[in-house]
Amino acid sequence: MSCRGSRRCFSGARAAVQLLARFAWSSGSIVANGMAALTGPRDGDGDARSPFLVVGLGNPGPRYRGTRHNVGFMVVDRLVGRLSATLAAVPDRDLILYRAGEGDRVVCLVQPLTYMNASGTVVSRMAHRLGLPPERVLVVVDCLDLPLGRIRLRPRGSSGGHRGVDSVIRELGTDQFPRLRVGIGRPESGEAIEHVLSPWAAAERSVLATTLEAAADAVCLALAAGVEAAMNRYNGWSAAEDNAATTQGEVNIEDV
């Protein structure tokens, strides 16, 4: 791969990641290879070809639609289109479930409708229903401690004070599940609760759109090549650099 200038190279790398994820999904290697890489060898806690569960956290209803706290829902919406997922019929009234793939190539995308602080009940129930270990549950959440335009993926860890993640840890009985944090930044003034439940400002929407696309890219890459690969690619990513690279002109895929 030859790149003229670091910004063009960064943008070209993003195009390559998107192509990798699309190829991996269409070829079946997400389950056959990528999911095994995501969780690693296991001793009797699930087959490497079993489904994978991606859960975006948020609050239900029109009052919370488009708020910062619902960025997990927004990423799932992007993934529904990216993976050509379809709405699945479920007996539960406290979740929305989308299903992508068929046979042994399945990813389940979930938006809990229990409100943020009780999200873990849905996550635990779905993981149990699908027979999945925690390592196969990827949770997408907002993060006050990351600025807008940054994302961070981790294979495990504490909640960092996020009550939705607290609920998931409590209901699963472990913090050993991957999570993708999407930065929303802290308010310059006022209470954090008001900030997370407020809608995005007009000036933020361009950066938000770029960030949501990158977050969806990161999830797809984690499924295709494993969490570590996605961490290496996206934990240093920033929307500012990505947008700057875009202004340098369209990337020629032949250069990637």
**What pLDDT, in 10s, does the model give residues 69-86?**
999 999 999 999 999 999
**What band does 105 get if pLDDT is binned at 50, 70 and 90?**
confident
The chain-wide mean pLDDT, for the chain, equals: 82
Distances (CA, A) of 49 to 19, 37, 38, 103, 197: 22, 11, 12, 10, 38
37-50 pLDDT, tens digit each: 333 333 334 455 56
**What band does 241 get if pLDDT is binned at 50, 70 and 90?**
confident
Mode of pairing for the β-strands spanning 151-154 and 179-183:
antiparallel
117-162 pLDDT, tens digit each: 999 999 999 999 999 999 999 999 999 999 999 999 999 999 999 9
Window from 49-53, 167-171, 179-183, 201-205 with minimum mean pLDDT: 49-53
| Nearest Cα residue to 180 out of 163, 204, 156 | 156
- Look up tokens 């308010």; give the residue: 187
Count the Cβ atoms, other than its own, within 10 Å of residue 50: 18
Per cent of the chain over pLDDT 90 is 65
**What band does 164 get if pLDDT is binned at 50, 70 and 90?**
very high
**Annotation marks residue 69 as catalytic:** yes
Active-site entry in 69, 128, 162, 195: 69
Secondary structure (3-state) at 97: strand
- The residues spanned by each domain of the chain are 6-250
Does this model's pTM top 0.85? My answer is no
The correct CATH number of 6-250 out of 1.10.486.10, 3.30.1450.10, 3.20.20.70, 3.40.50.1470 is 3.40.50.1470
Q: Which of 160-164, 176-180, 189-193 has the highest mean pLDDT?
A: 176-180
DSSP alpha helix (H) spans, the chain: 6-27, 29, 36-39, 71-82, 119-130, 163-172, 192-196, 205-225, 227-234, 239-246
What H or E segment, with its residue span, contains residue 249?
Answer: none
Q: Whole-angstrom Cα distance, residue 239 to residue 224? A: 22
> Which pLDDT does position 101 carry in this prediction?
86
